[in-house]
Amino acid sequence: MRVGFAGLGAMGGGMCRRLADRGYEVAVLDLDAEAVRRAAAHPGVTAAPDVPGLAAPVVVTMLPDGAAVRQVADALLPALEPGTVIVDTGSSAPSDTLELGRRAAGFGVAVVDSPVSGSPAAARAGELTLMAAGDADALAGAEGVLSALGRIHRVGPAGAGHALKALNNLLSAVNLAAVAEVMLAGRAFGLEPAVMLEVVNASTGRNHASETKLPDHVLSGTFDSGFALRLMLKDIRIAAALQEEAGGPAPFGTACRELWERAGTELGADADNVEVVRWLENAAGRELRA
């Protein structure tokens, strides 16, 4: 089966290779010609000549936001056969997903939002968490492709996957900032970061930031999680808008968005998301690394 794949960044590059390893013929496209060259060197992956050249029964996008997905879709939809499924695996706003679905329906094409959670290594190994949402028939048509990438969770109607992805990333951002904050306080009392993490991770405060991000990407001094701060901030803003729309109290979400916005302004567009810890270290006047 042929699959089109647009977006070959840290996640998409591994995902397209994983699909090829599972027997799919994958046509790929990205604005970065070098990323396309690297992907096409993998058996089963070929470079599409242009956006219409991605046409296939299932087309996967792993792009920065809904605007980028819409740009690809505008050029792609006229080239697609009715019954095609477009799967947006990136982090788009739910409203963008619903609008794309309405436009695609005019071409007889279905849209599934199935954002993913996991690392670039998990993308390559097919161990992602997929938050799949949309029409049942469309999900069934994309199930083989999605199952090759990881574990599928069917979470609801169109847009629900992107809503859950943004809310999950908001929680992830809260956890990262909170772990760094308490560890910096512990550092002021002479506690060693490795000791703090050992105890926290054996106790009720443990979370993904304490178990993975801090030990692997902060204490190591690499700050290289592979997920840009600007993309995390985009998801935080989407989640904050959803919280506002829901009308409930959201003090943690509001505080998190404000903190990450300040960090993003000072750290710059190319910063990794875990560099928010470096920003907190600078504010505290102490480092977590020995």
CA-based end-to-end distance of the chain? 52
Angle between helices 275-284 and 160-188 (to 10 degrees): 30
Interatomic CA distance for residues 136 and 254, integer angstroms = 35
Interatomic CA distance for residues 130 and 109, integer angstroms = 21
Interatomic CA distance for residues 140 and 145, integer angstroms = 10
Contacts of 170 (CB under 8 A, 6+ apart): 235, 236, 239, 240, 253, 256
Q: Which DSSP letter does residue 54 get? A: G
In Å, what is the CA distance from 85 to each residue of 79, 146, 226, 248?
Answer: 13, 12, 28, 35
Question: Using an 8 Å Cβ cutoff, are 44 and 25 in contact?
Answer: yes
Residues annotated catalytic, as ranges: 165
